[in-house]
Amino acid sequence: MTESRISETSILATQNLRRAVARESLIILYQGMPSALLGHLLISIFVIFAMWPVIASQQLFLWGGLVWLITGVRWLSVRRFFKRWAQITEEELPRWQRGMSLLAVFQMSVWGSATFLIWPAEIAYKSVLVAVIGGLISAGGIMLAVHRSSFWLYCVPISVPTIFVLLLDGGRLEHAMAAMVLLFSGTTLLSVNRLSHIFIEGLEVRFKMQALSRIDPLTDLLNRRSFDESFQHAWNQNARASQSLGLLMLDVDYFKKFNDSYGHPRGDEALRDLATVLRRVASRTTDLCARVGGEEFAVVVPTTDLEGAQLIARQIIEQLTLEAIPHAGSPSGLLTVSIGIKVGVPQRDEKIEDFIDGADKALYRAKDNGRNRIEVAPVARVDYRSS
């Protein structure tokens, strides 16, 4: 039981950590995009100005128009992202990452096309264009250190055509520049890999520290502070959607007697076993389980009507009974819990504290009426809707 609980918790924590890091990396990338796009516009203007004496104006404006077009498309993508990023789900993240990478490929392919559309014959002008390309590779490496797989997609469309054309030109200086671009791209890639590892490790440490501050160390459930924040979020969501919200408050029966009989280490183990039961029963991704006191727990079940909340409460009691944790100080001889339920559609004029208090009062009634039972808070002016 304990090993299984630890394994499940570890896998879930790892998945959550990866999702948090991926989301934060994507946000950082998009935050840096406006300045990068402005840089593309300014550099393209510089290239047109520098190549004006040796390249036909029609070719320069054709190439510049392509740069400005793809830059505009990427700008619109950035604006759309920041309008929606708070509502972007974990399932949508890969799509946004692919979209960002695809647009970067298009942009750098346009820059790579400069080696065919506006490639000068004079070595001095070639050197200017190669220097600009090297600067773009370097700037991209710095920006994409947060997402190293995208750097390949960014670097290849500009570096490969440049190296190819320089080698075809056949001159000694051109060959030297081709080797320089190849060497520069390779060293930048190595640097990006190192920076990416450092950055990702830093994000993981940050999110792990945040998670530790939100998790009860004994049970690996949410702590009281995190419960308050999470319940407020669930309350707001269900209020906007006019959907019912369920709250279960649980208390372990005769827990002081349990500790007196078996000792505090065994009491801690019993609380961990109960936490495992709660996670197993309240298993939807939207469900929340928390330890809100010494032997008091809470289960939040969004978009759940009264019948669904009662079913979850009964399953908790049944599963805990199957665990058959001995309790000599309990009339049943086993560890049991009392549960209070409050379900309702959050109202704008209703205080969240009153809702929680309703579940608490139902819990106290369950304890007063003999324990190891379920009590429901009175329903007022609520039209329950099942999810």
Residue in 289, 295, 235 with CA at minimum distance from that of residue 268: 295
90 is catalytic: no
**SS3 at position 171:** coil
Buried b (16+ CB within 10 A) or exposed e, 304-324: bbbebbbebbeebbeebeeee
Q: Which residues contact 315 (CB under 8 A, 6 or more apart)?
A: 281
Distance, in Å, from the CA atom of 296 to the CA atom of 287, rounded to the nearest integer, reads 17
Burial class (CB in 10 A: 0-12, 13-18, 19+), 22: middle
Q: Which residues contact 254 (CB under 8 A, 6 or more apart)?
A: 327, 329, 330, 371
| Eight-state DSSP code of residue 379 | P
CB-CB contact of 205 with 348 (8 Å)? no
DSSP string covering 177-238: HHHHHHHHHHHHHHHHHHHHHHHHHHHHHHHHHHHHHHB-TTTSSB-HHHHHHHHHHHHHHH
H/E segment holding residue 5: helix 2-51
Query: Which amino acid type is present at position 193?
Result: N
H/E segment holding residue 53: none
Rg (CA), the chain: 30
How far is CA 289 from its chain centroid? 19
Of the residues 8, 122, 204, 295, only one is catalytic, namely 295
Q: Which residues contact 270 (CB under 8 A, 6 or more apart)?
A: 252, 258, 325, 335
Residue in 98, 92, 88, 104 with CA at minimum distance from that of residue 33: 104
By annotation, the residues acting in catalysis are 295
